[in-house]
Structure 1
Amino acid sequence: MQGQRGVVGWTLVRIVFGLSLALGHGLPKVTGNMAGFAEGVAKLGFPFPLVFAWAAALSELLGGLLVAVGLFTRPAATLGAFTLAVALYRHRVDPFGTMEKALLFFSVMVAVVLAGPGPWSLDAKVRRRL
């Protein structure tokens, strides 16, 4: 990252995408109709669809929150990227506008895995104290 503007920009991307994933996608699944979501997971062929539905919802909710604050960032983004890869597979036959959200979230989660959380994160704060 080049300079202070790069740090601010990356932090903004991490926070906005993390919170959007958590609050816009994970929270509604956790607080909504989990049985209905599990039916969709079952149609994808996953065994134990309710378990996988909860895993996906929690990876979006908790993983998104962790990415936003930059704590356990790479593992959280890895789980989020895996969940979003499944979402991309599920939406592969949908119009591009439908699958676009999953593609954007997937891309940012992979970027977070590759680049890390940056210096304005709880991970960086923990590393500085060690």
Structure 2
Amino acid sequence: MQGQRGVAAWTLVRLVFGLSLALGHGLPKVTGNMASFAEGVARLGFPFPTFFAWCAALSELVGGLLVAVGLFTRPAALVAACTLAVALYRHRVDPFGTMEKALVFLTVFLAVVLAGPGPWSLDAKVRRRL
């Protein structure tokens, strides 16, 4: 990606996917029925399912918001990607249309880990001040 169009495109991807993960997946888990989500985590075989359910929900909510604004972007994207890898594993037996959402989010968040936030991010703004 070169030039302002590439920067704008990458920023748009980061914003849309970050906010979608945070508001569409993390926030409903944090404000919804955590006990039900924790039961699903327990069925995956995780010890301390309530703890790991909260970790997953917060990684989606906080990680998504951080990726969207481009702050602590790579670490936030990596934590969210780990959660998304578990989601992909959870949906491995589902039809592809169900599994696809986790796969797409995982792919984008891994791309953010590899490429970084780009110049239109809070990380870039902080770096320029140092």
Q: What TM bracket, shorter-length normalisation?
A: over 0.9
Question: In the TM superposition, what are the counterparts of 1:34-73 in structure 2 within 5 Å?
Answer: 34-73=34-73
Other-structure match for 2:119: 119
How far residue 85 of structure 1 moved from its aligned partner, in angstroms, is 0.1
Give percent identity, aligned residues only.
86
Alpha-carbon distance between aligned partners in 2 of 1:116 and 1:38, rounded to the nearest angstrom: 32
Unaligned ranges ≥5, structure 1: none
How many residue pairs get matched?
130
Alpha-carbon distance between aligned partners in 1 of 2:116 and 2:71, rounded to the nearest angstrom: 10
Alpha-carbon distance between aligned partners in 1 of 2:66 and 2:47, rounded to the nearest angstrom: 27
| Partner deviation per Cα, 1:61-97 (whole Å, 9 max, x = no partner) | 0000000000000000000000000000000000011
Q: What amino acid sits opposite 2:104 in the alignment?
A: L
Q: Return structure 1 stretches of 4+ with deviation > 3 angstroms.
A: none
Other-structure match for 1:28: 28
Alpha-carbon distance between aligned partners in 2 of 1:9 and 1:42, rounded to the nearest angstrom: 39
Unaligned ranges ≥5, structure 2: none
TM-score, L = length of structure 1: 0.99
TM-score, L = length of structure 2: 0.99
Q: What amino acid sits opposite 2:87 in the alignment?
A: A
Kindly report the root-mean-square deviation, in angstroms, between the aligned alpha carbons of the 2 structures.
0.3
